[in-house]
Amino acid sequence: DLLVVGSANADLVVRVERRPGAGETVLGSDLAVHPGGKGANQAVAAARLGARTALLARVGDDAHGRLLLQAQRAAGVAVDGVLTGGAPTGVALITVDPSGDNSIVVSPGANALLTPGDIRSAARLVRAARVVSAQLEIPLATVVETVRVLGGAGRFVLNPSPAGPLPAEVLTACDPLVVNEHEARVLLGDGAGPDPAGWARSLLALGPRSVVVTLGAAGALTADGRTGVVERVAAPRVSAVDTTGAGDAFTAALAWRLGRGEEPAAAARYAARVGAAAVTRPGAQEAYPVPAQLPPPA
């Protein structure tokens, strides 16, 4: 029902007392390797909720690629669409200091080799989905081709992260465009006012059919392009331990429920429960809930 087109990365995490300056070496903790990348995260999040989910991505022919595939299979994601080879699996090199601040270097690796041609080759998979969810950790041309191949056969959901300019062809296909505060500010530039409801309306003016703005512990806003109506969705109150990957879990849950025909505000209320559950445990994919672990609605 849900096809995720996106990135798969191995997150390599070392805790350090302080980060090294140029030419300097510091010692850190033991290495922790976690499956990550926005596409892989979304697919695992949806599958754990019970969605029939497939992933279209590219990994390297290496240990990180196998780790990522293993995590997808364990969650129940169909991985026939995961291509292998051409470059090493994407990695995020992450150092975490005692205050919890991250420094991250991303090596896109195989993600950068997921091409428009790969999307055309997977056209049957793309057109069979009720909903296709994409992000921007793969080439923009590949996202454009996804929109073209989909051709309105299914719904298209985009989280434009990392945030950057989007062609009109992609923007007008989004239903919804899902952004956090940072992504909203980048897309709106100086035109972003102080108020999130205003952002939602300004984002609608860029052409998407609908918009969802996520606001962390403050929940989310949904905005409908036809009616202009903006609705606020509260987040369940939980004690947050690690917000990594909360947005990916939220977006995956939202896309799946929208694909099933749920109303946007109802789908966002469900997604907010999923995002809230994801912040109560450390990590991204490891923290994603099964339905029994969801908090009650706010």
**Cα torsion through 218, 224, 227, 232, rounded to 10:** -10
The one among 214, 225, 267, 269 contacting ligand ADP by CB under 6 A: 214
Provide the minimum distance between the beta carbon of 277 and ligand ADP in the complex, in angstroms, as a whole number: 9
The dihedral through the CA atoms of 100, 105, 110, 114 has a sign that is positive
Which value, in Å, is the radius of gyration of the alpha carbons in the chain? Answer: 18
Provide the minimum distance between the beta carbon of 274 and ligand ADP in the complex, in angstroms, as a whole number: 8
Residues 6+ apart with CB under 8 A from 155: 130, 131, 132, 175, 255, 258, 259
Give 60 or 247: the residue with its C-beta nearer to ligand ADP: 247
- Any known ligand binding at 86? no
The one among 172, 243, 281, 293 contacting ligand ADP by CB under 6 A: 243
- Any known ligand binding at 242? yes
**Binding to ligand ADP by residue 150, rule CB under 6 A?**
no
The one among 59, 138, 279, 287 contacting ligand ADP by CB under 6 A: 279
- In three-state secondary structure terms, 115 is coil
- Any known ligand binding at 97? no
**Binding to ligand ADP by residue 219, rule CB under 6 A?**
yes
Burial of 138 per CB tally in 10 Å (0-12, 13-18, 19+): buried
Of 116, 118, 125, 122, which is closest to residue 2 (Cα–Cα)?
125
Other C-beta atoms within 10 Å of 230: how many? 18
- Which range of residues in 35-43, 65-73, 136-144, 275-283 is near ligand ADP by CB under 6 A? 275-283
User: Which tokens go with 244?
Assistant: 């990594």
Q: Which residues pair with 82 in a beta bridge?
A: 57
**Binding to ligand ADP by residue 247, rule CB under 6 A?**
yes
Long-range Cβ pairs for the range 63-67 (8 Å, 24+): 64/10, 64/33, 64/88, 64/89, 64/91, 65/8, 65/89, 65/110, 67/10, 67/33, 67/35
**Binding to ligand ADP by residue 240, rule CB under 6 A?**
yes
Check if 30 is active-site. Answer: no
- Any known ligand binding at 166? no
**Binding to ligand ADP by residue 114, rule CB under 6 A?**
no
- Which range of residues in 8-16, 38-46, 128-136, 208-216 is near ligand ADP by CB under 6 A? 208-216
**Cα torsion through 201, 205, 208, 210, rounded to 10:** 20
Give 116 or 297: the residue with its C-beta nearer to ligand ADP: 297
The dihedral through the CA atoms of 59, 61, 63, 69 has a sign that is positive
**Binding to ligand ADP by residue 216, rule CB under 6 A?**
yes
The one among 35, 37, 196, 275 contacting ligand ADP by CB under 6 A: 275
Backbone phi and psi for residue 76, each to the nearest 5 degrees, phi listed first: 95, 15
- Which range of residues in 18-26, 41-49, 88-96, 235-243 is near ligand ADP by CB under 6 A? 235-243
Count, residues near ligand ADP per rule CB under 6 A: 18
Buried/exposed code over 6-16 (b: 16+ C-beta within 10 A; e: otherwise): bbbbbbbbeee
Residue list 154-193, contact with ligand ADP (CB under 6 A): 180
Detail the residues annotated as belonging to a binding site.
Answer: 9-11, 37-41, 137, 180, 214-219, 242, 244, 247-248, 278, 281, 283
Q: Which residues are known catalytic residues?
A: 248
* Contact residues for ligand ADP, defined by CB under 6 A: 180, 214-217, 219-220, 235, 238, 240, 243, 246-247, 250, 272, 275-276, 279
